[in-house]
């Protein structure tokens, strides 16, 4: 009788293991030496210093883009210059910023628990990337990141790195104007990532891109005077401590956009939207090997794309994320512009 009960328990546990989110057929990125099977499940560690959980994100574009750039250059006198410049870009890659937001464990194909961390960045930072690397020390060491989710609504992407790392906290409370904030990240200095903090205040609690361009999104963004450039976009916008005026680990937004013609006007995606995208990313990651679920979501995406294409008020920033760079390469740049 005991033997039979034991057999039933083993069978039940085996079935349950198959349905643990993210474990079915999961083939993770090569893990660094620091990533070992977990024997215990420690609680996520909140970074005391926001710099410790702010990421330097380096991406390498696909080789197909080299041919596209070469074609765009045409037969001009600068064609060879463009080719050499792009080859350098291919070797070095481009970069942006990000931050760790969730540390957790997944059951790998060997049925053992391994640590993982979700890292947020901007969609435009990793768009079209063939490889993505995440570093928390300015590039001295890095982990290969797996892009698990890209939002079509927001300029956000979620990366999964196969290590455990300290995280920052999302603060989804209402943020008042004139609140002191800091924009963290790795702006490119001398072709290398260099950690910087730019302090400022919230200048607008709800700014819509439609105010700048009628064809853009009407979703609220946080406006601030904390500087954003091409390197620290994707990094966290954090609150400052009221007493010390130093940066805290409370993230209220993701640094996203600046307007060169508008002095000291920088904008971040607010934390409530980031939390929404995190939930979407978790759902996709948990169902990424569920054929029925993926088919259903693909049909939904197709319907949304067609609806946006045929809408009288179609927004270009909602269409571009759904167009593959491979389509541009195959059909030509003119087809993409059309």
Determine the pLDDT at residue 22. Answer: 33
Mark 55-86 as b/e (b = at least 16 C-beta within 10 Å): bbbbbbbeeebbebbeeebeeeeeeeeeeeeb
Determine the pLDDT at residue 4. Answer: 43
Does the pTM of the predicted model rise above 0.85? no
Distance in angstroms (rounded) separating the CA atoms of residues 259 and 56: 23
CA 175 distance to own-chain centroid: 23
Distance in angstroms (rounded) separating the CA atoms of residues 290 and 9: 26
Instruction: Give residues with Cβ within 8 angstroms of 13, minimum separation 6.
Output: none
Distance in angstroms (rounded) separating the CA atoms of residues 24 and 84: 44
Instruction: Give residues with Cβ within 8 angstroms of 274, minimum separation 6.
Output: 101, 120, 156, 170, 251, 253, 254
Determine the pLDDT at residue 280. Answer: 93
pLDDT string in tens for the chain (338-residue length): 434 434 433 333 333 333 333 333 333 333 343 455 545 667 789 999 999 999 999 988 776 666 666 666 565 566 666 666 665 555 555 789 999 999 998 877 777 888 999 999 999 888 878 889 999 998 888 899 999 999 988 999 999 999 999 999 999 999 999 999 999 999 877 567 789 999 999 998 988 877 766 666 778 899 999 988 878 899 999 999 989 999 999 999 999 988 766 666 899 999 999 999 999 999 888 877 777 877 877 777 777 767 766 666 656 555 555 555 455 445 554 554 45
Determine the pLDDT at residue 334. Answer: 54
Distance in angstroms (rounded) separating the CA atoms of residues 50 and 42: 20
């Amino acid at each position: 009788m005991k033997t039979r009960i034991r057999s039933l328990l083993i069978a039940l546990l085996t079935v349950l293991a198959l349905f643990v989110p993210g474990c079915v057929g999961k083939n993770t990125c090569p893990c660094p030496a620091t990533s070992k099977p977990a024997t215990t499940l420690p609680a996520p560690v909140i970074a005391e210093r926001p710099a410790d959980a702010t990421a330097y994100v380096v991406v390498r574009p696909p080789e197909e883009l080299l041919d596209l750039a070469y074609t765009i250059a045409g037969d001009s006198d600068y064609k060879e210059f463009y080719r050499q410049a792009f080859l350098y870009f291919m070797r070095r890659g481009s970069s942006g910023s990000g931050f760790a937001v969730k540390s957790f464990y997944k059951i790998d194909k060997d049925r053992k628990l391994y640590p993982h961390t979700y890292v947020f960045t901007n969609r435009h930072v990793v768009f079209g990337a063939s490889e993505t690397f995440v570093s928390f020390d300015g590039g001295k060491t890095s982990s290969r990141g797996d892009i698990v989710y890209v939002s079509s609504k927001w300029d956000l992407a979620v990366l999964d790195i196969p290590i455990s790392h300290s995280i920052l906290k999302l603060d989804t409370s209402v943020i008042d104007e004139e609140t002191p904030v800091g924009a963290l990240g790795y702006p490119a200095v001398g072709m290398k990532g260099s950690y910087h903090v730019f302090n400022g205040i919230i200048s607008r609690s709800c700014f819509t891109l439609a105010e700048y361009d009628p064809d853009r999104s009407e979703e609220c963004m946080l406006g601030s005077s904390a500087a954003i450039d091409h390197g620290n976009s994707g990094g966290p916008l954090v609150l400052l401590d009221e007493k010390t005026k130093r940066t805290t680990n409370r993230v209220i937004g993701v640094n996203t956009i600046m307007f060169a013609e508008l002095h000291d006007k920088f904008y971040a995606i607010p934390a409530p939207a980031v939390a929404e995208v995190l939930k979407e990313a978790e759902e996709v990651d948990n169902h990424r090997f569920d054929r029925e679920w993926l088919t259903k979501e693909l049909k939904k995406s197709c319907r949304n794309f067609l609806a946006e294409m045929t809408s009288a008020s179609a927004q270009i920033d909602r269409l571009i994320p759904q167009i593959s760079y491979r389509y541009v390469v195959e059909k030509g740049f003119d087809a993409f512009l059309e």
